[in-house]
Amino acid sequence: MSATPATSGPLRFPPGFLWGAATAAYQVEGAAREGGRTPSIWDTFSHTPGKVAGGDTGDVAVDHFHRRHEDVELMAALGLGAYRFSVSWPRVQPTGRGPAVQRGLDFYRRLVDDLLAHGIRPVLTLYHWDLPQELEADIHGGTASGGGWPHRDTAQRFADYAAIVAEALGDRVEWWTTLNEPWCSAFLGYGSGVHAPGRSDPEAALRAAHHLNLAHGLAAQALRAALPARGRVMISLNPAAVRARSRTPEDLDAQRRIDALATRIFTGPLLRGAYPADLLADTAHLTDWSFVRDGDLTVIKHPLDALGINYYTPTVVSAGTDNAPLPRHDGHGGGARSPWPGADRVAFHQPPGDRTAMGWSVDPTGLYDLLMRLHREAPGLPLFITENGAAYEDRPDAEGAVHDPERIAYLHAHLAAAHRALTDGADLRGYFLWSLMDNFEWAYGYSKRFGAVHVDFTTQARTPKSSGHWYANVARTNELPVLSPGMSAP
């Protein structure tokens, strides 16, 4: 399916459009026990038998901690203007409390210095899912499974951590992202349990979502207090492009219900200072939302300098029928519990057409729709595509080269959709490819490859794929070329 019409010539992007690539600390750094770092919830989860494909862990990942300089030189060779990376909370503040470990901060100081020396803008994310394990287990003497994001104190701990990192790096880093995809942290971590910490409690997932929102607001305040005037604050969401399977009232209500849980649970308080009334009604049988305290929504609605959007595939839903088992092709793993509290009778469908190695439908219209929706809902707020990409079965050929025409076609179609949104008025400022290189893909371990750079997980050798060279040309020229013959757009 495609909503991006063929063009007769290259598509120019605005001057100053930021071209980058992204990674996350636990997925790339390794060095899990070096420099004072203590376990995160993902260390604990990945070391729990049966939680991650192949028993894989991020203990070594792609060894970015030791290969930092080599990787920055690779970014420079690919012509990247920016690198979006995350800081490992337990590397900087191992217990989630108290002073920083300077050895941990030193790694990020050196990384930022290397990036700046190569003319690459650092774009820092404070949280990409690696909560210190001690915070997950700590509720001041309670049970070992009762802390983490469902516990209000975690939001304040996050603000304290944000201030520590801002004091260390604020003189060199302009763009700061508080959270990456809080939906995944809340609903995959505490709802379905397919992500760390692996809990399955719908009420706890809703509490976690609110406390993540609160953590963003408190951290944004802490960043404003610590950063110089040029500092910029944003958050990266993964809003869903939800589509009803039909136009029946029942299917449209399923669409509304999932849109509230996937998107408006975050954009409501962030942009308007209120949770959607229909969300509260849909989940009233699970919680009375008394964990939302006076003043919380004012804190959450802290002014943003930009909004990040992560997009991979749309979501197709319908109303369930009778009491038969419902399909749940929602792209978020096959956990025994649903990550959609209050939506037990919503069915999720796999649309026809091309799919990636993740089984995700290839459909750039979803990206266009989200960009235009957020442009309408938050006029004047700059937007960044902070993640977009695809996993395919990439293998080196006999000469060691890695050809991935499917990924080039995927990226071309989605960049064309982004350009169409720009043409139609969206204030889109930049695009970050997911991912710079193959890495630890969460519950899928090392079985899925998203990188523009191939990594041999045994030798750690890096090889730019054909998509990496293609994307480098886009970044250097600031234009999207006509798709080459033989590479049909999805």
Phi-psi region for residue 147, left (φ > 0), alpha (ψ -120 to 50) or beta? beta
What tokens does 173 get? 């880093």
Q: Coil, strand, or helix at residue 375?
A: helix
Quote the CA–CA distance of 350 and 332 in Å, as a whole number. Answer: 12
| Nearest to 22, CA basis, from 89, 58, 71 | 71
CB 94 within 8 Å of CB 38? yes
- Known catalytic residue at 399: no
Q: Annotated catalytic residue: which of 29, 387, 406, 441?
A: 387
Q: CA 70 from chain center: how many Å?
A: 24
| Nearest to 332, CA basis, from 129, 192, 186 | 192
The beta-strand segments (E) located in 338-418 are 346-349, 383-387
Backbone angles phi, psi at 187, to 5 degrees: -95, -25
CA dihedral sign, ordered 116, 122, 127, 129: negative
Q: Annotated catalytic residue: which of 29, 136, 181, 406?
A: 181
- Known catalytic residue at 181: yes
Quote the CA–CA distance of 237 and 303 in Å, as a whole number. Answer: 16
Backbone angles phi, psi at 349, to 5 degrees: -120, 150
Q: What is the CA radius of gyration of the chain?
A: 21
Quote the CA–CA distance of 358 and 380 in Å, as a whole number. Answer: 35
3-state SS of 217-267? HHHHHHHHHHCCCCCEEEEEECCCCEEECCCCHHHHHHHHHHHHHHHHHHH
Q: Coil, strand, or helix at residue 52?
A: coil
Quote the CA–CA distance of 209 and 214 in Å, as a whole number. Answer: 9
CB 427 within 8 Å of CB 383? yes
**Helix (H) or strand (E) segment spanning residue 53:** none
Strands 82-86 and 121-127: parallel
| Nearest to 206, CA basis, from 340, 11, 17, 384 | 340
**Helix (H) or strand (E) segment spanning residue 168:** helix 153-169
DSSP string computed for 91-153: HHSTTSSSS--HHHHHHHHHHHHHHHHTT-EEEEEEESS--BHHHHS-SSSS-TTS-STTSTH
Amino acid making up residue 358:
M
To the nearest 10 degrees (0 to 180), the angle between helices 153-169 and 102-117 is 50
For the annotated catalytic residues, the residue numbers are 181, 387
